[in-house]
């Protein structure tokens, strides 16, 4: 029997705030300690060990510490770069760890003169592993389109490691994420170890094989903290000689999450502040992660909601950490003539207001707003500066041409 751990989407360095960065590191450390107790044969990390291509020294040091310990115990770590920790030149921080002898990067292959790719297998005792890296915006699909067919050793356990969603297997929640069509993925493997989809899911493919997304090891943003209540996941997998697969879900939870959510439609800032402070005083927030979430249109200025006092009151309750989300909060005010004046809360809103005040022709107003959108598009990591400029120029010319053509 083969026993291994399958993790993905650890996203070390995903958080800006120190207290949440610490949780990310603690989750990884707890998972490593628990996995060591499981006495696994090896570990698979299916992409996004790090949230960035150049991680912090603190994250690198912790990873190196445990990878070194695993190596000393004879436990190999197999990994593929994900959409966050790969690099556009196909070199990754993962390659640095591999060069140090701390892991094996499975995302390797040979490219022939026609651009066709032969994946390189890694044989480890009774297991054969293949891997494909993830890239941003599903760009790894080009790799799958150019893969040569594989001849699998049926006498061994065959594992395919990837970092992509699969169109036919994604839940409705992730149906809009760029994913790989199932027909492009090599067939016949006994276990498919994937990542990228931050949701625990064990699927059966059309040919009866097991396809697993373990889920993120720890929430990487506010929304995930709210939805999972602070939980992260990985799996322990056992495959016997008959190639029967057993998947055991493991949960990582460091702190409980308390969500304070308010619909403040039509309420005044002072009333909102008082209500939140009252709920804080009556709530049990000790040793919890507190998430404050406000939505609706405020009667008055958002700036008059006393978030400073709210945060201080929450921290006085000895919570572990606090974070707020006001992305769905807007406001209106009455001026001296009792006319509703909308509060402008973003640069794009300001730009729109300026254009609407100064450009009376609807066609040119639409053109100005479109040009702003075009100029806001960021350069993909895979693009050269020349290609990026050419793309922006082409889109701008197309937008201008449409206005010119409409006048002919």
Q: Can you tell me the distance from the alpha carbon of 304 to that of 272, in angstroms, rounded to the nearest whole number?
A: 10
**Residues 71, 42 contacting (CB under 8 angstroms):** no
For 109-133, letters b (16+ CB in 10 Å) and e give: beeeeeeebebebbebeebbbbbbb
User: For residue 390, what pLDDT is reported?
Assistant: 76
User: For residue 406, what pLDDT is reported?
Assistant: 64
Mean pLDDT, 10 residues at a time, the chain of 408 residues: 97 93 96 96 96 91 97 97 80 88 95 93 96 91 94 95 93 88 94 96 86 96 94 97 95 96 94 96 95 92 92 95 91 56 53 64 77 71 63 82 67
User: For residue 123, what pLDDT is reported?
Assistant: 96
User: For residue 269, what pLDDT is reported?
Assistant: 94
User: For residue 338, what pLDDT is reported?
Assistant: 46
User: For residue 349, what pLDDT is reported?
Assistant: 56
Q: Can you tell me the distance from the alpha carbon of 59 to that of 53, in angstroms, rounded to the nearest whole number?
A: 12
pTM: 0.80
User: For residue 334, what pLDDT is reported?
Assistant: 52
User: For residue 208, what pLDDT is reported?
Assistant: 83
User: For residue 350, what pLDDT is reported?
Assistant: 53
DSSP class of residue 341 equals E
Which residues, in sequence order, are CB contacts of 303 under 8 Å at separation 6+? none
**Residues 356, 324 contacting (CB under 8 angstroms):** no
User: For residue 360, what pLDDT is reported?
Assistant: 67
327's enclosing H/E stretch is strand 321-334
- What is 2-253's CATH number? 3.60.21.10
User: For residue 164, what pLDDT is reported?
Assistant: 95
Give CATH 3.60.21.10 domain extents, the chain.
2-253
């Amino acid at each position: 029997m083969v026993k291994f751990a399958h993790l993905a989407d650890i996203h070390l360095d995903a958080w800006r705030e120190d207290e949440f960065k610490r949780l990310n590191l603690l989750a990884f450390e707890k998972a490593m300690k628990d996995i060591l107790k499981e006495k696994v044969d090896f570990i698979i990390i299916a992409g996004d060990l790090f949230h960035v291509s150049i991680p912090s020294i603190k994250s690198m040091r912790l990873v190196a510490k445990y990878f070194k310990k695993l190596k000393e115990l004879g436990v190999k770590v197999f990994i593929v770069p994900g959409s966050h920790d790969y690099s556009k030149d196909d070199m990754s921080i993962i390659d640095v760890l591999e060069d140090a002898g701390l892991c094996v990067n499975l995302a390797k292959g040979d490219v022939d003169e026609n651009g066709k790719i032969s994946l390189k297998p890694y044989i480890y005792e009774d297991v054969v592993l293949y891997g494909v890296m993830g890239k941003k915006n599903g760009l790894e699909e080009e790799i799958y389109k150019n893969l040569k067919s594989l001849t699998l050793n049926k006498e061994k356990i065959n594992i395919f490691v990837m970092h992509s969603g699969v169109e036919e297997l994604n839940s409705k929640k992730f149906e809009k994420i760029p994913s790989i069509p199932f027909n492009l993925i090599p067939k016949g493997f006994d276990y498919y170890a994937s990542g990228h989809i931050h949701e625990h899911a064990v699927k059966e493919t059309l040919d009866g094989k097991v396809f697993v997304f373990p889920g993120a090891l720890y929430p990487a943003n506010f929304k995930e903290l709210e939805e999972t209540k602070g939980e992260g996941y990985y799996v322990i997998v056992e495959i016997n000689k008959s190639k029967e697969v057993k998947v055991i879900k493991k949960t990582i939870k460091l702190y409980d999450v308390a969500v304070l959510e308010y619909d403040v439609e039509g309420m005044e800032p002072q009333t909102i502040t008082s209500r939140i402070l009252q709920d804080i005083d009556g709530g049990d927030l000790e040793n919890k992660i507190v998430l404050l979430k406000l939505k609706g249109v405020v009667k008055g200025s958002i700036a008059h909601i006393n978030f400073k006092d709210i945060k201080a009151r929450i921290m006085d309750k000895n919570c572990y950490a606090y974070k707020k989300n006001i992305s769905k909060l807007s406001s209106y005010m009455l001026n001296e003539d009792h006319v509703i004046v909308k509060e402008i809360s973003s640069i794009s809103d300001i730009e729109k207001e300026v254009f609407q005040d100064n450009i009376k022709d609807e066609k040119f107003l639409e053109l100005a707003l479109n040009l702003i959108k075009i100029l806001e598009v960021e350069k993909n990591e895979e693009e050269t500066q020349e290609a990026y400029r050419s793309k922006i120029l082409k889109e701008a010319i197309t937008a201008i041409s449409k206005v010119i053509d409409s006048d002919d």
